[in-house]
Amino acid sequence: MKYEVFKFETDTDDAEKTKIGIKVIDDNGKEFYVDKSITTGSKSDSALMEEAHTAIESDVAEWQASQLNIGKIWNEDTKSWE
């Protein structure tokens, strides 16, 4: 998996937070985009991005689970999806 920050800006709904957008690319090249708002405080940019990465873990896991059966093809010989 590859993670890439595509957005890093003050959250327009809450100026005390930074909205960080992360693009996730799986091993098959499929992409998933997710935004997280992180309380800025006195954190460094790196710390904010690390916190956003941690905050998206469950979103990424749900996305991966939703992709498990995408692209499977019915095999008439074995009578199963492969």
Q: What are the domain boundaries of the chain?
A: 2-72
Residue 74's pLDDT band (cuts 50, 70, 90): very high
Residue 82's pLDDT band (cuts 50, 70, 90): very high
High-pLDDT (> 70) share of the chain, %: 100
pTM to 2 decimals?
Answer: 0.84
The answer for residues whose C-beta is within 8 angstroms of residue 33's C-beta and 6 or more apart is 6, 21, 22, 23, 24
Report the pLDDT value the prediction gives residue 33, as an integer from 0 to 100: 98
Residue 45's pLDDT band (cuts 50, 70, 90): very high
Beta-sheet strand order (sheet of 17-25):
2-10, 17-25, 31-39
Average pLDDT, integer, range 33-62 = 97
Report the pLDDT value the prediction gives residue 30, as an integer from 0 to 100: 94
